[in-house]
Amino acid sequence: MDMNEIKEIFFQECEEQLAELESGLLKLNDGDRDPETVNAVFRAVHSIKGGAGAFGLDDLVAFAHVFETTLDCVRSNKLEPNQDVLKVMLKSADVLADLTNAARDGGYVDESRSRALVKELEALANGEVPVASAEAPKAQPKPAVAAPTDDSGFQPIPFNFDGFDEDETPADAGQVYEISFKPRRDLYSKGNEAALLLRDLSRIGEMSINCDLESLPDLDKLDPEESYVSWMISLRTTRSEDEIRAVFEFAEWDCDLEVRAAEASPSGEELPMVPVPFDLSILNDDASAEAPAPSPTRDAAETPAAAAETATEASKMAAAAARVERKESAAATAAAAAASNTAAAAAGQTIRVDLDRVDRLINLVGELVINQAMLSQSVIENDTTGTSSINMGLEELQQLTREIQDSVMAIRAQPVKPVFQRMSRIVREVADMVGKSIRLVTEGENTEVDKTVIDKLAEPLTHMIRNAVDHGIETPEKREAAGKDPEGTIKLTAKHRSGRIVIELVDDGAGINRERVRQKAIDNDLIAADANLTDEEIDNLIFAPGFSTADKISDISGRGVGMDVVKRSIQALGGRISISSRPGQGSTFTMSLPLTLAVLDGMVVTVAGQTLVVPLTAIVETLQPEAAAVHSFGANQRLISIRNSFCPLVDVGRILNFRSTQANPVEGVALLVESEGGGQRALMVDAIQGQRQVVIKSLEANYTHVPGIAAATILGDGRVALILDVDAVVAASRGQSLKPEMSLAATG
């Protein structure tokens, strides 16, 4: 793993933390006062700040720092998280998200907004807390402020740990310091060790030491954990006094320490104290006299005592000590090493997998499904008996393949929660802009759907939410006048229904103004002035291309695009959308989407010699037209009567330009399809080959977008079949041409 990978992990983690932050703030907003909620919110910001600091993302650090400081005031009960405070916090969470995105891939950050929020956050922190604790946040968002440094204490200084080889400190240079060091009991109980401090001290200069054992009590009165010994140290070094003190950084509270520069002494003069070298020959002499078992290897212990006695340099002392006999202690480490295999990190319930890997697997399983179908087909063609064990085996293989496919698809399934969470920010921002007060209620956030669907869901959903806030919900004044709660409610729900995901967006606003919609449609030549439309048909006019009820195109509901764009995006996903509205009580948008974009249940049909797949979800029924039921209408239009109602008959071959003249309906099959809001159509095809699940291959990825065609697939016999875009075909039949730019499929 390298730093770039860790950075990627950091950004993934940021996403999680931001979600955590937002849901925590929303809980607080709902009156939750659990300290753990506040802590979780604080930790989220803190964690982002920590990681950002490690990667030098200064803007992010600076903003997170100010945010964190204010949150800390809430955490320590210095600041009451009322609605006003939370409003600022929620906005800050949004800016933090923007800054994170900007750091990740240079997204847009509204700097004036972030500056304004920094001021607001600081005001909150300063307004409520004593001056003393409010001085921390000084960071500004834009100028590259370094991560907050430790200005109250010590800045670690890098030490050279090369030890005795260090010749930066020649004997004739530097200043001699006299250091008195007396550790207290706490120094040891907190895990510090005087011996290590002395070691580090010896590394920054030439040291001689005098150990004071005066206060060491008798063995039986001794408390083994007490600190009895102290030291007087002479250190000749080129380092400053501060650097010497820095060695004791972790210990300075738990010891008495004095450091003072000794009188300047001529270079080369003896140090004030001459240490006595640790001469093990004394020990070993005694050992030879007294030890019950003579040491067989003690020949090696011939320490040149004379040399050691006069040695004053630490290096020489070390060398002498090193020459002392020592026993190899390799065996001792073996036992300890055995314990180390115990993995410390607990195994989690989830693993993280790179999406590319999952996609590859899904593609491969797709190939497997196709291959299995091809294999089945060729066996059937070559085996006329149809009862062989091969067939049974193939059936099992087919079953297994389907199961593998379902399991693999489940890997990519994800809850819609992140998308829903993003919506609460949209509601906040837009409501703020238009001066409305709106609450977003979400339900079924844990409903799962394929990640590819989720990714494409955000855009149309955002658009619809903006629309609901901007147009759906009335102003507080109007609502009050109508006897409603001045605060509007938008409810966003997700649920599974018959193999699809259904997302509902319900607002309690004014509902569709049908008079106005109708007038607008007439003005825009979408309908005839005297058209007789049902309420439902009028409501669905808002999805018509080029329709917009907003008196002026606002920045809020989109840049000149209306609900038709939403509808097309949903359709591009193989989904449907519809609206129902009750005047004065609000509107409900219902979207139904496939759970995956990878497979599709389709009806395989023939049109002008071509094989097409029609999504099964679009088909209401199939029928064999009788000559008497078909009526010509206008120049090229034909209708078919089905159970006493008329339905436009659409020749798919003609629409797709597979043929130049209309086919004879009686020779073909009609597929009754339901298109979104536009009622039913009967699609004429030449023949039905059967139903099967097909693996969707994107045409855009492999070829280019083809009008009226949603995607392609490979059939069991190896032929490529095109998947029909039913709604595009129906739209085309209404007289709209199949122009590439009409379809939004390419924008996904």
Partner 1 sequence: MAAKKAASGTLKLSPTMDLNEASALHAKLLSMRGGNIVIDASQVERLGVQCAQVLVAGARAWQADKKSYVVKQASDAFAKTMQLIGIDAEHLVAKEI
Partner 2 sequence: MKKKVLTVDDSRTIRNMLLVTLNNAGFETFQAEDGVEGLEVLEGANPDVIVTDINMPRLDGFGFIEGVRRNEKYRAVPILVLTTESDAEKKNRARQAGATGWIVKPFDPAKLIDAIERVTA
Residues forming contacts to partner 2 in the complex (CB under 8 A) are 1-3, 5-6, 9-10, 12-13, 36, 39-40, 42-43, 46-47, 49-51, 53-54, 56, 61, 136, 147-153, 156, 158-159, 161, 188-193, 195-196, 200, 249-250, 253, 333, 336-337, 339-340, 342-346
Residue 319 binds partner 1 (CB under 8 A): no
Residue 17 to residue 11: CA distance in whole angstroms: 10
Write down the least CB distance from residue 237 to partner 1, Å.
16
Q: Phi and psi for 448 in degrees, rounded to 5?
A: -100, 145
CB 477 within 8 Å of CB 525 = no
Residue 514 to residue 601: CA distance in whole angstroms: 37
Write down the least CB distance from residue 76 to partner 2, Å.
11
Contacts made by residues 702-710, CB under 8 angstroms, sequence distance 24+: 705/740, 705/743, 705/745, 705/746, 707/732, 707/738, 707/739, 707/740, 707/742, 707/743, 708/655, 708/656, 708/732, 708/738, 709/656, 710/572, 710/574, 710/615, 710/745
Pairing mode of beta strands 230-237, 438-443 = unpaired
- Alpha-carbon distances, residue 427 vs 94, 186, 439, 486, 504 (angstroms): 12, 56, 8, 16, 16
Q: Is 34 in a helix, a strand, or coil? A: coil
- Rounded to 5 degrees, what angle do the CA atoms 337, 341, 343 make? 140
Residue 347 interaction partner, one of partner 2, partner 1, none, beta carbon < 5-8 Å per kind = none
Residue 218 binds partner 1 (CB under 8 A): yes
Write down the least CB distance from residue 43 to partner 1, Å.
33
Binding track over 231-270 against partner 1, x by CB under 8 A? x---------------------------------------
Tell which one of 3, 157, 171, 216 touches partner 1 (CB under 8 A): 216
Residue 171 interaction partner, one of partner 1, partner 2, none, beta carbon < 5-8 Å per kind = none
Closest CB to partner 2 among residues 118, 722:
118
500: how many CB neighbours lie within 10 A of its CB? 18
Residue 51 to residue 44: CA distance in whole angstroms: 11
Handedness of CA 517, 523, 526, 529 (dihedral sign): positive
Residue 184 binds partner 1 (CB under 8 A): no
Please give the distance of CA 440 from its chain centroid, rounded to a whole number: 22
Closest CB to partner 1 among residues 93, 194:
194
Residue 338 interaction partner, one of partner 2, partner 1, none, beta carbon < 5-8 Å per kind = none
Closest CB to partner 2 among residues 50, 678:
50
Residue 708 to residue 706: CA distance in whole angstroms: 6
Residue 211 interaction partner, one of partner 2, partner 1, none, beta carbon < 5-8 Å per kind = partner 1
Residue 393 interaction partner, one of partner 1, partner 2, none, beta carbon < 5-8 Å per kind = none
Residue 234 to residue 353: CA distance in whole angstroms: 58
Buried b (16+ CB within 10 A) or exposed e, 568-580: bbbbbbbbbbbbb
Q: In 97-174, which ranges are E strands?
A: none
Residue 274 binds partner 1 (CB under 8 A): no
SS3 of 271-323: the string is CCCCCCCCCHHHHHHHHHHHCCCCCCCHHHHCCCHHHHHHCCCHHHHHHHHHH
- HSE-up (13 A, CA, CB side) for residue 743: 28
Residue 280 binds partner 1 (CB under 8 A): yes
Residue 164 binds partner 1 (CB under 8 A): no
CB 723 within 8 Å of CB 644 = no
Write down the least CB distance from residue 497 to partner 2, Å.
36
Residue 582 binds partner 1 (CB under 8 A): no
Residue 145 binds partner 1 (CB under 8 A): no
Can you give the length of the chain in residues?
A: 748
**Segment contacting partner 1 (CB under 8 A): 289-297, 401-409, 580-588, 679-687?**
289-297
Closest CA to 85 of 38, 20, 34: 38
Q: What is the DSSP letter of 551?
A: S
Residue 646 interaction partner, one of partner 2, partner 1, none, beta carbon < 5-8 Å per kind = none
Amino acid present at 99: L
Write down the least CB distance from residue 337 to partner 2, Å.
6
Closest CB to partner 1 among residues 146, 276:
276
Tell which one of 1, 131, 144, 332 touches partner 1 (CB under 8 A): 332
Write down the least CB distance from residue 223 to partner 2, Å.
15
Closest CB to partner 1 among residues 226, 717:
226
Write down the least CB distance from residue 194 to partner 1, Å.
4
Tell which one of 188, 250, 547, 658 touches partner 1 (CB under 8 A): 188
Residue 381 interaction partner, one of partner 2, partner 1, none, beta carbon < 5-8 Å per kind = none
CB 401 within 8 Å of CB 366 = no
Tell which one of 242, 286, 536, 717 touches partner 1 (CB under 8 A): 286
Residue 229 interaction partner, one of partner 2, partner 1, none, beta carbon < 5-8 Å per kind = partner 1
Residue 53 interaction partner, one of partner 1, partner 2, none, beta carbon < 5-8 Å per kind = partner 2
Write down the least CB distance from residue 216 to partner 1, Å.
6
**Segment contacting partner 1 (CB under 8 A): 327-335, 467-475, 614-622, 731-739?**
327-335
Closest CA to 363 of 316, 412, 319, 311: 412
Residue 46 interaction partner, one of partner 1, partner 2, none, beta carbon < 5-8 Å per kind = partner 2
449 strand-pairing partners: 414
Tell which one of 132, 219, 306, 347 touches partner 1 (CB under 8 A): 219
Binding track over 62-101 against partner 1, x by CB under 8 A? ----------------------------------------
- Dihedral class, residue 110 (left if φ above 0, else alpha if ψ from -120 to 50, else beta): beta
Residues ≥6 apart with Cβ < 8 Å to 389: none
Closest CB to partner 2 among residues 1, 628:
1
Angle between helices 83-105 and 417-434 (to 10 degrees): 120
Amino acid present at 210: N
**Segment contacting partner 1 (CB under 8 A): 212-220, 524-532, 549-557, 565-573?**
212-220
Tell which one of 1, 131, 144, 195 touches partner 1 (CB under 8 A): 195
Q: Is 377 in a helix, a strand, or coil? A: helix
Q: Is 342 in a helix, a strand, or coil? A: coil
Write down the least CB distance from residue 282 to partner 2, Å.
25
Tell which one of 189, 238, 632, 657 touches partner 1 (CB under 8 A): 189
Handedness of CA 430, 432, 435, 437 (dihedral sign): positive
Residues ≥6 apart with Cβ < 8 Å to 328: none
Residue 43 interaction partner, one of partner 2, partner 1, none, beta carbon < 5-8 Å per kind = partner 2
> Residue 151, exposed/middle/buried by CB under 10 A (0-12, 13-18, 19+)?
exposed
Write down the least CB distance from residue 340 to partner 1, Å.
15
Residue 6 interaction partner, one of partner 2, partner 1, none, beta carbon < 5-8 Å per kind = partner 2
# residues contacting partner 1 (CB under 8 A): 52
Write down the least CB distance from residue 58 to partner 2, Å.
10
Residue 136 interaction partner, one of partner 2, partner 1, none, beta carbon < 5-8 Å per kind = partner 2
Tell which one of 257, 274, 318, 619 touches partner 1 (CB under 8 A): 318
Binding site for partner 1 (CB under 8 A): 183, 188-189, 193-195, 198-199, 202, 209-211, 213, 216-220, 222, 224-225, 227-229, 231, 275-284, 286-287, 290-292, 295, 317-318, 321-322, 324-327, 329, 332-333
